[in-house]
Amino acid sequence: MMKGQELELYVHIPFCIQKCKYCDFLSAPAKRQVQNAYMEALLTEIAGKAAGCGIPDVRGELPEEGQAPVRERPVCSVFIGGGTPSAVEPAWIGRVMEALRAHFALRADAEISMEVNPGTVTRKSLRLYREFGIRRLSIGCQSADEKELRTLGRIHTFDQFLDTYRWAREAGFDNINVDLMSALPGQTIERACRSVEAMLQLDPPPEHLSVYSLIVEEGTAFCEQVQAGILTLPDEDTEREIYWRIADFLETNGYEHYEISNYAKAGCRCIHNCGYWTGREYLGFGLGAASLYGHTRFSNTDTLDTYLADPVHSAVQQETLRVQDQMAETMFLGLRMADGVSSGQFLARYGVEPTVPYRTQIASCMRDGLLRVTDAADGGTRLVLTRRGLDVSNYVFAKFL
Ligand code: SF4
C-alpha cells in the first residue's frame, strides 16, 4: 500500500579503483572483504530505516500526524551513487535492489539510476544491472580527450567509455546520462566543446548530459598542483565562455538546459535531482549519506568503522529546519532550475509570496538584471535567473541565506 507524499532514496557506495586527482567526495579504494562487509551493513540499514529506526522524529511504527509510515510512502526515485557503485561485485546491486523493493513502496514507474565508471563494467555486468531493475545509467566520462583524462587521474580511456556506452545500449538502457567536466587545466574553448560534440556523435546520443565546471577543492591532488604552479586553470572569462558555448550548442541540438549544469532531451530530466532541487524528502543509506525527512536533515557518520558497527543508528549530524531555513532552501535550490521558483507554490507552502520575506533581495537582483519574472503555467509567476544571474549564481544564492 502506498500512502503519503513521495519520497526519494539514495544509496551511497563509497568505493573507487583509485582516487581521481580533483575528487573530494567521500570515496576511496578498498579490499573486497571491506566492500562485502559494507554492503551487508547497507542491507541492514535499509531494513532498519524502513522500520522507522534511526530516523530522527520518527518513533518506531508511529508516523507523524497525517504522515504515512516510511515504508508505505511512494518512492518515485532511487539513485545508487558513489564512489563507483560498479566497483563492487554486481550481485550486491541485485541484493540492494531486492532489499529496497522488499522494504519500501517503490512505484512501478520509479526512476532507478546507478552511476558506473568505464573500466569497471563489462557487457555481462551491465546486462545484470538491467535485470536487477536499474533503468537509468549515469556514466562518468568527464572528457573525450585522452590527455585530459590522464590529467584528471581517471582510470579509463575514451575508448573504454565508448565500449561502456555501446554495451549499455546493447543491454537495453534507453535512458543514459553522461557526466562531463569543463574548464579543465589548460583547456581551450575549442577543446572543451570537442568533448561535448563527441557525445552528440554517439548513436543514439545520451538522453541527458551533466557538464560541471571544475572546482578545485582543498586537500585534493589538483589543489596542490595548482598551488605549486604545475597546473593552470582557465581564467574566469574563459570559464564563462566555455559554459555558454556548451549551453548554446546543446540547446541548439535539442537539449533543454533545465538546471545550471544539466541538459536533457524532452521528458528525460533527472527525476531524482529535480526532487532534490524542489525540496522533496529523501532518505540516504550508506557512509556519510544525507537525508531530509519531515523538516529534519541528518547525515550518517563518515567514519567507516562507526558505520559498520551500527549502520542503522549512525546519524551524527541532525538539524531541524526552521520555516525561514525552508524558505531560503526553496529559493536557492529552486533558482538553480530553469523553471525557477513559482510564486503560487511558495504561497501554497508558506502562506506568503516570496516577495514578502525577500522583498529587498529580489528587488536588488532585479535591478541588477540577475533575476526576472516570467509567467507560470498555473497562471501565476515564476522568478528565474537571467543569463547574467547564471554567471554569478552563487552570489545570488547567498542573498537568500
Ligand atoms: S570515480 Fe568519482 S568518486 Fe571515485 S575518485 Fe573519481 S571522481 Fe571521485
What pLDDT shows up at residue 106? 98
pLDDT at residue 61, as a whole number? 38
Q: Is 214 in the pocket of ligand 1 (CB under 6 A)?
A: no
Atom of ligand 1 at shortest distance to CA of 27? Answer: 3
| Same domain assignment for residues 237 and 348 | no
Q: Print the domain residue range for 217.
A: 7-275
Query: So what's the pLDDT on residue 66?
Result: 60
Atom of ligand 1 nearest to the CA of 83: 3
User: Residue 257 falls within a domain, yes or no?
Assistant: yes
Using the 3D structure, point to which of 275, 296, 316 is the last residue of a domain.
275
- Cα–Cα dist 351/191, whole Å: 49
Q: Are residues 246 and 349 part of one domain?
A: no
Any atom of ligand 1 within 6 Å of the Cβ of 25: yes
Tell me the C-alpha distance between 41 and 289, whole Å.
13
| Whether residue 99 is found in the same domain as residue 176 | yes
Calculate how far, in angstroms, residue 277's C-alpha sits from the geometric centre of ligand 1. 23
- Whether 362 and 260 map to the same domain: the answer is no
Q: Report yes or no on 316 lying in a domain.
A: no
130 belongs to a structural domain = yes
What's the confidence (pLDDT) of residue 178?
98
Q: How far is the CA of 274 from the centre of ligand 1 (A)?
A: 22
| 220 and 344, same domain (yes or no) | no
341 pocket-lining for ligand 1 (C-beta < 6 Å): no
State the CATH number of the domain containing residue 127: 3.20.20.70
**Is the minimum distance from the CB of 23 to ligand 1 under 6 angstroms?**
yes
Asked if residue 78 has its Cβ within 6 Å of ligand 1, the reply is: no
Tell me the CA–centroid distance for residue 213 and ligand 1, in Å: 15
Q: Is 139 in the pocket of ligand 1 (CB under 6 A)?
A: no
Q: Decide: 57 and 296 in contact? Cβ < 8 Å.
A: yes
How far is the centre of ligand 1, averaged over its atoms, from the C-alpha of 28 (Å)?
Answer: 8
Distance CA 305, CA 314 (A): 10
Q: Is 85 in the pocket of ligand 1 (CB under 6 A)?
A: no
Residue 385 near residue 334, CB atoms below 8 Å:
no
pTM to 2 decimal places: 0.95
Pocket test for ligand 1, best of 27, 121, 141, 302 (most atoms within 8 A of CB): 27
The cell 541485485 sits on which residue?
Answer: 94
- Note whether 252 and 396 are same-domain residues: no
Give CA–CA dist 75/110, Å, rounded. 7
Angle at 219 between CA 215 and CA 225, to 5 degrees: 70
Q: Could you say which of 275, 298, 316 is where a domain stops?
A: 275
Task: Using the 3D structure, point to which of 275, 298, 323 is the last residue of a domain.
Answer: 275
Q: Provide φ and ψ at 40, rounded to 5°.
A: -60, -40
Cell readout for 240 is 564563462
Q: Are residues 264 and 354 in the same domain?
A: no
Assess if residue 298 is contained within a domain: no
* Residue nearest atom 7 of ligand 1, based on CA coordinates: 23
81 C-beta closer than 6 A to ligand 1: no
For 365, the grid coordinates are 537582483
Whether 282 maps to a domain, the answer reads no
For the chain, the three-class secondary structure string (H helix, E strand, C coil) is CCCCCCEEEEEEECECCCCCCCCCCCCECCCHHHHHHHHHHHHHHHHHHHCCCCCCCCECCECCCCCCCHHHCEEEEEEEEECCHHHCCHHHHHHHHHHHHHHCEEEEEEEEEEEECCCCCCHHHHHHHHHHCCCEEEEEEECCCHHHHHHHCCCCCHHHHHHHHHHHHHCCCCCEEEEEEECCCCCCHHHHHHHHHHHHCCCCCCCEEEEEECCCCCCCHHHHHHHCCCCCCCCHHHHHHHHHHHHHHHHHCCCEEEECCEEECCCCCCHHHHHHHCCCEEEEECCCCEEEECCEEEEECCCHHHHHHCCCCCEEEEEECCHHHHHHHHHHHHCCECCCEEHHHHHHHHCCCCCCCCHHHHHHHHHCCCEEEEECCCCCEEEEECHHHHHCHHHHHHHCC
If asked whether residues 196 and 60 sit together in one domain, one would say yes
Would 125 be classed as within a structural domain? yes
Q: Which of 12, 18, 20 to mutate to test the pocket of ligand 1 (most atoms within 8 A of CB)?
A: 20
- pLDDT of res. 62: 43
Q: Whose CA is nearest to atom 2 of ligand 1?
A: 83
Low-confidence stretches of the chain (pLDDT beneath 50) = 58-63
Residues 270 and 383 in one domain: no
In this structure, are 28 and 109 located in the same domain?
Answer: yes
Residue pair 334/278 in contact (Cβ under 8 Å)? The answer is: yes
Among protein residues, the one with the nearest Cα to ligand 1's atom 8 is: 23
Does the CB atom of residue 13 touch ligand 1 within 6 A? no
Question: Candidates 12, 23, 179, 210: which one to mutate for ligand 1, based on the most atoms within 8 Å of Cβ?
Answer: 23
- Quick one: 146 and 41 in the same domain? yes
How big is the chain, counted in residues?
401
Same domain, 264 and 355: no
* Residue 82 CB less than 6 A away from ligand 1: yes
Please tell me if the CB atom of residue 249 comes closer than 6 angstroms to any atom of ligand 1: no
What is the CATH number for 381?
1.10.10
Residues 307-364 have pLDDT tens digits of 999 999 999 888 999 999 999 999 999 999 999 999 999 999 999 999 999 999 999 9
> What is the rounded CA–CA span in Å between residue 249 and residue 265?
13
Residue 233 belongs to a domain: yes
Q: Residue 314 falls within a domain, yes or no?
A: no
- Domains: count for the chain: 2
CA of 337 to the centre of ligand 1 (A): 25
